[in-house]
Structure 1
Amino acid sequence: MEPSIRKRIRDGLAWRMRPVTRYVSRYRPVFIVQNYHRLFRDTLTTDFDEGVFGGISEEYFRRQLAHLARDYDVLSEGEVIDCLGGKGRFPRKALLLTFDDGYKDNYTLAYPVLQGLRLPALFFIPTLPWSTRQLGWWDLIAWCVKKTDRPTVTIDGEARPLGTTAEKAAAITRLLQKFYRLPDAETRDLLETLSRDLDVALPDTDVQSRELMTTAEIREMLDHGMAVGAHTHSHKVLSTLDRQAQDREIGTSKQLLEEGLGVAVRSFAYPVGTAHSFDDGTKKLVRDHGFSLAFSFYSGVNDPAGGIDPYDIRRTFRGHPYAGFLESFREPYTFIHPRQ
């Protein structure tokens, strides 16, 4: 049979199967984890990394959650643990809300919305920023580039222009990509070198601390139905570390959170969370430290009927436009992606 004929037959079958595919998508159980980092109140203005906001304002967040709460059963961390441990069953349309990195607006903006809608959420806290009141490397890279008056920055031997806001944004993206892929030993002096080359002092502790939740704020959220998970100690990409260093990052974060907050920490989120940022050895370390759940962040949804790896639970982020956000949750299995 000619290839063109086979293609026409295949395309015709696919078209005829569309109603069946949509039926399966609509009635097949699904577990989605929607992840956030930061929110802004009305207009996004920051001296730090804009990428972690994802374009999500407080009001847009409220609209999202109101819609999701109508269509999905929003689960707590404990309910997810029970479902994966055989002590319960996932609802047909299950959802978990998570937040990464412990930013202040998680408390000032997201938490009141969650309370108003009576929804639980899980907040992942990297313990070095929390305990030392110092922001993550991604925010400090953005600070240096945004604050500099230098016309260029050299990245991998190439002079990148910094004359416009767009050029600075492109340079920040390139620097973050470089940081992600380098072995840990090669990144230790990156911030100091960048600060010196761009002639920008890193922000003082008070400036950095204002961007982060305090222990008292986290405890208040815990007292009102929220949960806290570990996100390593220093937010290093675990695949750039040897096993011993990975073990320290994972174990230290759990220990410090449990000692500082007085709660059992049962969930872990891999920093960055792409398929290449952790491996089976990393998952074993997480399991050996007594975590019940671990979350990645390379998109896709989780299929309760097909089986869910409790140490590689998919998370996704659906933001703008609102129509696209609605469609992605209406037909969730359109957004399954293989681990690559």
Structure 2
Amino acid sequence: MGRGLRRHEGAFILYGHRFSDDDDGYLQGLRPAWFDDQVAYLTRHYEVIPLKTLIDCLEQRRAVPARSVVLTFDDGFRDNLENAVPILERYRVPATIFVVTRSLTNGELPWSQRLGVIFQQTCNHQVSHPQLGEQPAPLNDSHQRRAAYQRIKLGIAPLQREARDSIITGLANQLGVEPPLDQMLSWEDARLLQASGVEIGGHSYSHALLGQVPIAEACHEIRRCREELRDHLGLEAAPFCLPGGSYSDDVIRCIKQTGFRSCFIPNQQKRYNTVVNTTLFTLSRLGLPNAPSHHLEAELDGPFHPLRECCHWLQGGYRSLSPSP
């Protein structure tokens, strides 16, 4: 009924990260069976189009296909290839994967997931770090480990890459954990994905939160990402995705000047993208729910969004309930 009453004049852009039934690194994966259900729903009720098609429409100022959907995945986890791509191929739908280029080179997890794995897997019962105060912080249960992780993550996010990496390496040594090197795509994987029709985009060099680090560091992350995409994959004007949705006006300016073709901006109020309400560098996305397809249906065509808007109106203002990881 909701589909009949609500018209969508443009394209929803949906995003996910991992496609696995676990929360390694404190990044919850989407259960592959649920993703399968979601793609089945989308192919029945929407036209799933490549991101490139949407960008072409915006550049050429022509109408975006009505009731269309774009699928995007962030970071470049190997489970995208192993678990998500077979589903895409079965339903014959396109997608774009935004990769952290350093991870494709050395296999390391993005820094926040690397830090998370260290705290999840440690057998130590305490940790010492200036971000946690003068006394060692207890790690006796999952709640204490996650709380320590979140405090350190918040403290090191604005640091330059070398300093951030040094702290994470020190914590790995202190807590006796060696983060895995086999959970990310490689450059060879990326070339295979390109050959199969999956679009590759940029997600920075090391997943720095670009709006928090110094602008010189942010621009280095953006430029090195573009250079490596060009050198390894032949991409001259790829789309870009902000790590964690973190940005400033200067960051967006650098993305444009570096030669990326488009970028997403966090905006929970803009549901779908048209030539009227968006530009190449203000595209908006919605997260795929970690739930069966009826949750996605309720979000796109049912009561979830209207009810959320009503609650925000009653509370006297809009605030994001599900920020990008």
Q: TM-score range by the shorter chain?
A: 0.7 to 0.9
Q: Does structure 1 conserve the Cα–Cα contact (< 8 Å) formed by 2:102 and 2:206?
A: yes
Partner residue in 1 for 2:192: 220
For these two proteins, the number of residue pairs brought into alignment is 305
Partner residue in 1 for 2:19: 39
Q: Of the candidates 278, 282, 288, which is equivalent to residue 247 of structure 2?
A: 278
Q: Does structure 2 conserve the Cα–Cα contact (< 8 Å) formed by 1:184 and 1:240?
A: no
Q: Does structure 1 conserve the Cα–Cα contact (< 8 Å) formed by 2:14 and 2:285?
A: yes
Partner residue in 2 for 1:313: 283
Q: Does structure 2 conserve the Cα–Cα contact (< 8 Å) formed by 1:150 and 1:162?
A: yes
Deviation at 1:249, TM superposition (A): 1.1
Equivalent runs, 1:78-97 vs 2, <5 Å: 78-86=52-60, 88-97=62-71
Partner residue in 2 for 1:326: 297
Distance 1:57 1:333, change over 3 A: closer
What secondary structure sits across from 1:313 in the alignment? coil
- Aligned equivalents of 1:143, 1:338: Cα separation in 2: 30
What secondary structure sits across from 2:69 in the alignment? strand
- Aligned equivalents of 1:93, 1:193: Cα separation in 2: 49
Asked if 1:66 is matched to 2:79, the reply is no
- Aligned equivalents of 1:97, 1:23: Cα separation in 2: 20
Deviation at 1:25, TM superposition (A): 7.2
Which shows bigger deviation, 185-194 or 321-330? 185-194
Deviation at 1:96, TM superposition (A): 0.8
What secondary structure sits across from 2:243 in the alignment? coil
Q: Does structure 1 conserve the Cα–Cα contact (< 8 Å) formed by 2:63 and 2:275?
A: no
Which shows bigger deviation, 304-313 or 99-108? 304-313
Partner residue in 2 for 1:294: 263
Deviation at 1:159, TM superposition (A): 4.9
- Aligned equivalents of 1:253, 1:59: Cα separation in 2: 32
Distance 1:175 1:71, change over 3 A: farther
Equivalent runs, 1:125-164 vs 2, <5 Å: 125-154=99-128, 155-157=131-133, 159-164=136-141
- Aligned equivalents of 1:89, 1:329: Cα separation in 2: 20
Deviation at 1:298, TM superposition (A): 5.4
Deviation at 1:239, TM superposition (A): 1.6
- Aligned equivalents of 1:100, 1:294: Cα separation in 2: 13
- Aligned equivalents of 1:269, 1:28: Cα separation in 2: 24
Deviation at 1:252, TM superposition (A): 1.1
- Structure 1 gaps, min length 5: 1-18
Asked if 1:49 is matched to 2:18, the reply is no
Equivalent runs, 1:167-186 vs 2, <5 Å: 167-180=144-157, 182-184=158-160
Q: Residue deviations 1:228-281, cap 9 Å, x none?
A: 0011111111122333222221111111112101233420001101xxx21111
Q: Does structure 1 conserve the Cα–Cα contact (< 8 Å) formed by 2:122 and 2:177?
A: no
Overall identity of the aligned pairs, in % = 21
Distance 1:160 1:34, change over 3 A: farther
Structure having the higher Rg: 1
- Structure 2 gaps, min length 5: 310-317
Two-structure CA RMSD over aligned residues (Å) = 2.8
Distance 1:222 1:188, change over 3 A: closer
Deviation at 1:28, TM superposition (A): 4.3
Asked if 1:231 is matched to 2:211, the reply is no
